[in-house]
Structure 1
Amino acid sequence: MALPAAELMTLAGIAYGHPAAIPAYLATSPVTGGIWEAIWIARDEAVPVNFAFLARDRRPGGGVALAIRGTYPNPFSPAYWDDARQDSPFGPMARWPSGATVDPGDQEPGDPCISGGTWAGFSSLIALTDEAGTSLAQALDGLPAQTPLAVTGHSLGGTLAPVVALWLAGRAPPRRPEVATFAGMTPGNSAFAALFGPGTLLEGRVARLYNTLDSVPYGWDDVLATRDFFQPAPQGGVILDLALHATAWRLRGYDYAAIGTPVPLAGQVARPVTACTPIAFLIETLHQHLPDTYLALLGAPPLPFRIGLGAVVLPGDHPAAGALAAHAVPPVFLP
């Protein structure tokens, strides 16, 4: 990976911030300050289902990075539930690159498909516009062909990042972005994953970074691997075990396959904040998925804000910021 993982994860994390504050976050983060500056920011929507921004690396020879936001972290907003549908692996899939729908059982060998939710997120993402009406697709197309380009994202953003990169590789002129996904889920089947393999434009260009104790990046090709997380406690119990087996059973025939070079980050169980096991398990699950946890695993400072029940977040030094994350809600995956 040409760019430091800590920088790419910080950019992906800053994408959760309020759009108007993105330039300030880039300027104040110890990781990006004086290095990265925003050049295109999706306009502030009342219901921001998808969001991204472009930033320029001001160092000599620096390029441009596309940072894609993950699931909108406010379950009281319809944007959260729209994103949750994009996170879901179930339902009809979409053939790449046409978007034509196909039932999982009707996939042909070598037929590259992504989940219907991922296709919806991708379509929404490239159509985003800034305040001047310039779409993300136009902004990317307007970059000089020789500009080094990176694509990064956390969670849903990590799921969408390789899809956007593949779209860029198929346009004229074709681009070969560097891709770093953090906590991303598997967007498509094995035929889709092969489009990043040997002999392709994106061969060796995708790094899949994941916390080994974060359950999200094990979706949707290895969900049963999460059964024994958080040893010795807190445990999800029988209900979680049944839910995981039911999910694995429902995923039969989808043929989900991970993309890119895996880069595991060794997670550590945090000290429980409550004696109530179900609540402790949910909090631990959320903690392992948060951007700041990924930054800590990379040896980087936290974001200049804390993510909780809302994407308009508190500054990191706010008195209530420390407790904010403990009350956030993890993503919910819908059928």
Structure 2
Amino acid sequence: MSSLNIHQQVFGLSLASNLLTVSKGTEAELQSELDSTLQPIIANNIGNWNVVWGPRVWKTAPSDPNSGPDRVWYIAHNPSASFVDGIYDAYVLAVAGTANNSTENLVIDAYVNEVVDFNDWVQTGITNPPEQAATVDQAKPYIAYGTASGISTLLTVPSPAGQTIIEFLATIPPTSRLVFTGHSLGGALSPTVALALLRAGLLKNAPGNVFAYPTAGPSPGNGPFAALFAQNFPLITDGPAAYQMWNGNLANTKDIVPHAWNIESLKAIPTLYGTLPFLLNVIVVAIVNGAIDLANASGLVYVPLQGQTFPTPALDTPQTLQSFLETALQEHMGAYESFIAAPSILPSHEPASSTEQARGLPILGGIYQAHREAKEMERLEKEGK
């Protein structure tokens, strides 16, 4: 039996979906790499969980050797998982976050200016491609088009064995527990795909045995969508620590990513780590204002999903773009691992630089680009002397 509690195990399975986050290769090469590494890492670090669907690596350009995975997801099974209220046969569907070298992830992370009518999509069939809403009715639930596009892949692309997750989930016993989890981009996709499957009537073990465990997720939709999620997935707390819950997004109060895409939360980002130096503040404010413009263009008011937060110790105020990125990345990744006391599961490859991990993340992607441009200007100035 694992010494980790069930929440630590689920978060560990979520981390394991990100093994390829800094990898490059064709879809076949990345698939082969994950096939050989995922199960041993789970067995050695998390406990009695076995991969029973997938893993699946998917790329929009499967033959491109110079980009990373666009989507990674898998399902693991434990016949005797220990929950607070007893031992259960359990399945976990883990969805990876943003990969460093994925252009497609850049698009879906920031594609919030167009939206999808969530109820209409569910009613017409969630295996159909999502369609952008022509108009917005503020009383109805909507999700970002990028989020809808992301979960469409999860629902329709089969495993290497030829079975979709919808087909697999239809085979599990109704008494089994099923958890949807993911970090960052996965923290938006996992609860949304759980709600889509539930509302479409495709989860026969709902509602009492289906849970969502997103972490560090940006807001996937508007207020009515957040309310619909809360109605179908009531928040459950079953321990003293903030991470010991189900059906809510776990967010570090100093993590920038969960501040997207609610306008008031976005406005708080420039002062999140103290009063920034003038030029750094100008850059961060400009990038945040660009994010606010994107969110406003949707016609929605994005509202975070229910959940719980945790604080981290006071930080030194960043003085440069690089130190801002390094601080933000620590708050987005390392802080969660420390708080949850999860197993350390590192990517298969080291990133070219610590700041490269910011590429594709909401807000941080823009700051990363500004950092790159500043470094290039410094290089050109030196060469010109």
Aligned residues: 303
1:54 maps onto 2:75 in alignment: yes
- Partner residue of 1:41? 54
The counterpart of 1:10, out of the listed 5, 9, 12, is: 12
| Distance in structure 2 (CA, Å) of the matches to 1:91 and 1:248 | 10
1:105-154 deviations in Å (ceiling 9; x for gaps): x3113221111100100101112322211112211222122211111100
CA distance in 1, matches of 2:176, 2:78: 11
What secondary structure sits across from 2:71 in the alignment?
Answer: coil
User: Structure 1 residue 326: deviation in Å?
Assistant: 2.1
Identity within the alignment, %: 23
Could you tell me how far apart the structure 2 residues matched to 1:265 and 1:50 are? 28
Could you say which residue in structure 2 is the equivalent of 1:216?
Answer: 257
Give the match's secondary structure for 1:6: helix
Q: Which ranges of structure 1 fall in alignment gaps of 5 or more residues?
A: 75-79, 308-312, 315-320
Read off the aligned partner of 1:14 and give its amino acid letter. A
Cα offset, 1:270, TM superposition: 6.6
Q: Does 1:326 align with 2:375?
A: no
Give the Cα–Cα distance (whole angstroms) in 1 for the partners of residues 52 and 107 of structure 2.
30
Q: Does residue 65 of the first structure (1) align with residue 92 of the second (2)?
A: yes
3-state SS in 1 of match to 2:213? strand
Q: 1:246 to 1:326 in 2, by over 3 A?
A: closer
Cα shift at 1:243: 2.3
Q: Distance in 2 between matches of 1:120 and 1:182?
A: 20
> Are the equivalent residues in 1 in contact too, given 2:18–2:97 (CA < 8 A)?
yes
Specify whether residues 242 and 48 from structure 1 end up closer, same or farther in structure 2 by C-alpha distance, changes over 3 A only.
closer
Q: Which residue of 1 aligns with 2:374?
A: none
- Once the two structures are superposed, the pairs formed by residues 1-335 of structure 1 within 5 Å of their partners are 4-18=6-20, 19-20=34-35, 21-29=37-45, 32-33=46-47, 35-45=48-58, 46=62, 48-59=69-80, 60-74=87-101, 80-97=102-119, 98=121, 99-103=130-134, 106-170=135-199, 171-172=201-202, 173=204, 175-176=206-207, 177-197=210-230, 200-204=231-235, 206-221=247-262, 222-231=265-274, 236-252=280-296, 253-260=299-306, 262-268=307-313, 277-290=320-333, 292-303=334-345, 305=346, 307=347, 313-314=348-349, 326-332=354-360, 333=362
* Contact 1:213/1:268 (8 A) holds in 2: no
Alignment partners' CA distance in 2, 1:96 and 1:43: 25
* Native 8 Å contact 1:6 1:295 kept in 2: no
Cα distance between partner residues in 2 of 1:259 and 1:118: 14
- How far 1:73 sits from its partner (Å)? 2.4
Q: TM-score, normalising length from structure 2? A: 0.71
Q: Is the 8 A contact 2:216 2:252 kept in 1?
A: yes
What letter corresponds to residue 340 of structure 2 in structure 1? L
Structure 2 distance, partners of 1:269, 1:15, is: 30
Please, what is the CA RMSD of the aligned residues? Answer: 2.6
TM-fit CA distance, 1:86: 1.1
Aligned partners of 1:111 and 1:192 also within 8 Å: yes
In 1, Cα distance between equivalents of 2:137 and 2:276: 43
Is the CA contact (8 Å cut-off) linking 2:178 and 2:211 kept in structure 1? yes
**Shift of residue 101 of structure 1?**
1.7
Structure 2 CA distance for partners of 1:251 and 1:233, relative to 1, 3 Å: closer
Q: Is the 8 A contact 1:234 1:280 kept in 2?
A: no
Q: Which deviations, in whole Å up to 9, do the C-alpha atoms of 1:261-320 show, x marking residues without a partner?
A: x21121246779xx9711111122222222x431112123321x2x4xxxxx14xxxxxx
2:26 is matched with none
